[in-house]
Amino acid sequence: MNDVLNAIIVDDEKLARLYLAELVAEFPEVRVVATCHDGFEAVKAITEHRPDLVFLDIQMPRLDGFEVLELVDRSALAVVFVTAFDQYALKAFDAHAVDYLLKPFSRDRLAAALAKVRRNFSGGLPGVDLMRRTLRPDEKYLGRIVVRDGAAVTIIPCGEVTSLCAEDDYVNIRSGGGSVLKHQTLASLEQSLDPERFVRIHRSAIINIEKLERIELLERDHYEAVLLDGQRLRISRAGHQRLRELLG
């Protein structure tokens, strides 16, 4: 890491961007290379500038702060969340944020956050990977899935998802708008989905039970799920048991 940290500020409120930029200007070890007013602009700027640090708002239209982080390379990026809402703190640290600034904050509080960033780059910031996931119930599961393909970003409401099928290191997400590939394992994505709506029917397939039309018996103990869009997926014995439990 260079002596000067290249930083990006992301906030949908202009006054908040200006206030933070003015505070950061008092720290010669930080150079702001871009400011962004929404999540899409942030993804583009982070990809182009490859900053050391991003000050990231959480609640933004179109893409929120957590969704931005899904779409960028996090390997050498320190994240400081900046928000007016304290309920996201634990989720922020679960996303491996270095710090969490609650608006309004002072210069001294910003200085403390930058000190944490420095320790993070030197390998001396413990603990963030050990924090347990403890979210409020209404934030526990995804409401939408965000997929990036090159410069294009697709947002799929979970209610529109029909099925999710593993394809090597990708998940094929099928919805009313067609299908897209997301670079993620099926197992990790499953952890973020509402188990009352999504059920794994096979080691390589998850379906939205609201999109299930019927279950067909092909032969003894061999079943197939027929979805509303006509898709047919094999059901394992364990998957059939899960469906029976969920459907009553």
Q: Which domain holds residue 96?
A: 5-130
User: Is the same domain home to 118 and 157?
Assistant: no
Give the CATH number of the domain where residue 217 resides: 2.40.50.1020
Length, in residues, of the chain = 248
The overall pTM is greater than 0.75: no
User: Is the same domain home to 116 and 147?
Assistant: no
Rounded CA-CA distance 223/233 in Å is 9
Rounded CA-CA distance 232/225 in Å is 6
**Does the residue 201 lie in any domain?**
yes
So what's the pLDDT on residue 95? 61
Give the CATH number of the domain where residue 23 resides: 3.40.50.2300
User: Is the same domain home to 187 and 214?
Assistant: yes
User: Is the same domain home to 11 and 81?
Assistant: yes
So what's the pLDDT on residue 91? 63
Four-CA torsion 127, 53, 8, 63, nearest 10 degrees: -40
What is the β-pairing status of strands 53-56 and 5-10? parallel
Which residue, 130, 151, 170, sits at the end of a domain? 130
- Could you tell me if 91 and 66 are in contact, meaning their C-beta atoms sit under 8 angstroms apart? yes
Helix or strand run (H / E) with residue 170: strand 170-175
- Could you tell me if 63 and 16 are in contact, meaning their C-beta atoms sit under 8 angstroms apart? no
Q: Residue 205, class by beta-carbon neighbours within 10 Å (0-12 exposed, 13-18 middle, 19+ buried)?
A: buried
Structure tokens at 38: 């929404």
The amino acid present at 101, given as its one-letter code, is L
Instruction: State how many domains the chain has.
Output: 2
- Could you tell me if 66 and 94 are in contact, meaning their C-beta atoms sit under 8 angstroms apart? no
pLDDT values of the chain reduced to their tens digit, one per residue, 248 residues: 568 999 999 999 999 999 999 999 999 999 999 999 999 999 999 999 999 999 999 889 888 888 998 888 888 899 999 988 776 665 666 667 888 898 889 999 999 999 999 887 765 443 333 333 333 334 578 888 989 877 678 889 999 999 999 998 899 999 987 999 998 899 989 988 999 999 999 999 999 999 999 999 988 778 999 999 999 999 999 999 999 888 87
**Does the residue 137 lie in any domain?**
no
User: Is the same domain home to 9 and 113?
Assistant: yes
So what's the pLDDT on residue 90? 59
